[in-house]
C-alpha cells in the first residue's frame, strides 16, 4: 500500500530519532518534527501506518512504537537506555493555590518524562507536575520547571511538599512548617507571604525529590539529596583551554549574607601566559601575578571603571593561566540576584547573569573576593554540577580581545548552547 508524503516523513523521523537516541519519539515530538500541531492527526497517521504494516504501536505507554524494519521496541530501548518513565499528572502552583492535579484538565494527558535512571531517586512510585509561578525560586524551583513527586501523606519540617488545602479545595507547592494546631506553608521568595492553614485542613499529597528545568535548550536537573562537592585543586591544574571547557555545567556558588546564590556555568574564555597577547599575564604585573599560581584561586579585576570580572586560576604553579567566567544559568537565590541587579519587580531571570559584569553584580563579587581559594572557601566556590556533551558546546574566538592575530583568532571561548 502506498504512503502519503506526510506518512513517509513520519516514518523517516521515527527511524532517525531511534538511531540517534536509542528509543522512539513521543507523539508530540513526531508532530513538531513534521509540522503537525494536532496530536490526534499524528495518531491518525500512526494508525494508518500500522494498518499498512509499517510499524507496531502500544497506546498504553508513551513512546510505544516499533518500526517493522528494526527500531527497538520501547521496553527494550528503555532497558538499554536505562530510562525511568514518570507520568505527567498536571500543574502545581508556586504562588496562589490552584485545583489539585486530579481536579484540573491535564494538558499533558498520557505524556511522560522519560529520564535516565541515575537522575531519579530509586524505588517507589513517582509522578511529575509542572510548576506555575515563582514563589519557590530561592529553593531552585522556577516557573515552568518539572517537580518530581514521591506520593506520601507525611513530611518533615522544611520539606517541600504538594499541600492540599481541604476547605479551599486547592493545592500549592511550599515548604512545610508544622506549628501546633497550625501549619505554615512557607514560600521561598521574599515577594510572597506565608500561607497559614489549620492543621486539620491540610493534607500532604507528596514530597518533592527532584526538579528538572528546560532552560535555553539545556535540561538542568537538581537533586535535593545530592551534596554539593567543591571541585578539587587538581581540576584547575591543567591548561586553561581544557579547564574552560570542563567548567561548563559546573555550579558557581556564592554565599552572601548567609544566603546561597549561584548557577551553572554556561560560558567561559581561556587565557594563557607569555604566548597569549590577549592575556593579562602576557606581561607579569602586580595585578596579574595571581595568574602564575597556584591554581584554583579566584582572580577578580575591574574594567571600564564599572564592572568586575571573575576568573579561576589554572595551570601548574608558576605557569600563568586563567579562565574568565562569562555567564551562568541562575539556579539559587534568584530573587536576591534580581534585587542586586535592580530587577526585583521582574519575574524572569532572562539576561540576569549572561555577562561577566552582570554575574559579578548579581553575586556580589568585587575585589574583596580576589585571591579566594575556590577549593576551600565557604564564601565563593565552584562545585560539581551537570555533564555537558560535546554536541552542546559552541567554540569560538574570544570576544573583544586585543593583541596579535593569533590572540584574536584562538578558539578559546566555550558556550553551552544545548
Which three three-digit cell numbers place residue 106?
A: 491535564
31, containing H or E segment: helix 27-34
Helix 39-51 to helix 27-34 angle, to the nearest 10 degrees? 100
Tell me which residue of 40, 59, 49 sits closest to 2, measured CA to CA: 49
- Check 54, 88, 174, 207 and give the catalytic one: 174
Terminal Cα-to-Cα distance of the chain (whole angstroms)? 40
Helices (H), 316-366: 334-340, 356-363
To which residue does cell 522544611 refer? 158
Which three three-digit cell numbers place residue 393?
A: 558546546
- Check 135, 279, 288, 381 and give the catalytic one: 135
27, containing H or E segment: helix 27-34
CA 417 from chain centre, in angstroms, equals 12
Cβ–Cβ < 8 Å for 34, 14: no
Q: Name the maximum alpha-carbon separation found in the chain.
A: 78
To which residue does cell 519575574 refer? 347
Q: Is 174 a catalytic residue?
A: yes
Strand partners, 204: 163
Residues assigned a catalytic role: 135, 174
Amino acid at each position: 500500500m502506498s504512503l502519503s508524503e506526510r506518512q513517509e516523513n513520519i516514518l523517516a523521523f521515527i527511524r532517525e530519532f531511534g538511531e540517534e537516541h536509542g528509543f522512539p519519539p513521543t507523539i508530540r515530538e513526531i508532530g513538531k518534527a513534521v509540522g503537525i500541531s494536532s496530536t490526534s492527526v499524528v495518531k491518525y497517521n500512526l494508525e494508518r501506518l500500522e494498518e499498512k504494516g509499517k510499524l507496531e504501536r502500544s497506546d498504553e505507554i508513551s513512546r510505544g512504537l516499533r518500526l517493522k524494519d528494526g527500531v527497538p521496541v520501547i521496553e527494550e530501548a528503555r532497558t538499554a537506555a536505562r530510562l525511568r518513565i514518570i507520568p505527567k499528572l498536571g500543574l502545581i502552583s508556586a504562588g496562589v493555590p490552584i485545583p489539585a492535579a486530579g481536579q484540573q484538565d491535564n494538558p499533558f494527558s498520557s505524556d511522560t518524562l522519560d529520564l535516565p535512571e541515575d537522575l531519579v531517586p530509586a524505588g517507589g512510585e513517582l509522578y511529575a507536575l509542572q510548576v506555575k509561578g515563582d514563589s519557590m525560586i530561592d529553593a531552585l524551583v522556577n516557573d515552568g520547571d518539572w517537580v518530581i513527586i514521591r506520593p506520601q501523606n507525611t513530611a518533615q519540617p522544611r520539606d517541600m511538599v504538594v499541600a492540599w488545602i481541604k476547605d479551599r479545595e486547592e493545592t500549592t507547592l511550599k515548604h512545610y512548617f508544622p506549628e501546633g494546631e497550625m501549619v505554615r506553608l512557607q514560600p521561598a521568595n521574599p515577594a510572597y507571604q506565608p500561607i497559614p492553614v489549620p492543621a486539620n485542613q491540610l493534607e500532604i499529597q507528596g514530597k518533592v525529590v527532584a526538579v528538572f528545568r528546560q532552560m535555553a535548550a539545556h535540561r538542568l536537573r537538581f537533586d535535593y539529596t545530592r551534596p554539593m562537592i567543591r571541585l578539587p585543586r587538581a581540576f584547575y591544574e591543567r591548561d586553561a583551554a581544557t579547564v574552560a571547557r570542563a567548567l561548563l555545567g559546573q555550579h558557581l556558588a556564592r554565599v552572601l549574607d548567609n544566603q546561597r546564590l549561584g548557577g551553572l556555568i554556561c560560558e567561559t574564555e581561556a587565557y594563557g601566559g607569555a604566548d597569549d597577547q590577549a592575556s593579562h599575564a602576557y606581561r607579569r604585573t602586580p595585578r596579574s601575578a595571581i595568574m602564575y599560581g597556584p591554581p584554583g584561586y579566584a582572580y577578580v579585576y575591574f574594567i571600564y571603571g564599572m564592572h568586575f570580572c571573575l576568573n579561576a586560576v589554572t595551570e601548574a604553579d608558576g605557569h600563568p593561566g586563567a579562565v574568565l567566567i562569562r555567564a551562568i544559568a541562575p539556579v539559587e537565590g534568584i530573587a536576591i540576584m534580581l534585587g542586586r541587579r535592580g530587577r526585583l519587580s521582574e519575574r524572569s531571570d532572562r539576561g540576569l547573569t549572561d555577562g561577566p559584569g552582570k554575574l559579578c553584580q548579581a553575586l556580589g563579587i568585587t575585589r574583596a573576593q580576589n585571591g579566594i581559594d575556590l577549593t576551600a572557601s565557604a564564601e565563593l566556590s565552584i562545585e560539581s554540577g551537570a555533564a555537558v556533551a560535546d554536541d552542546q558546546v559552541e567554540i569560538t574566538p574570544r570576544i573583544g580581545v586585543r593583541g596579535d592575530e593569533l590572540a584574536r583568532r584562538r578558539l578559546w571561548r566555550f558556550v553551552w548552547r544545548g
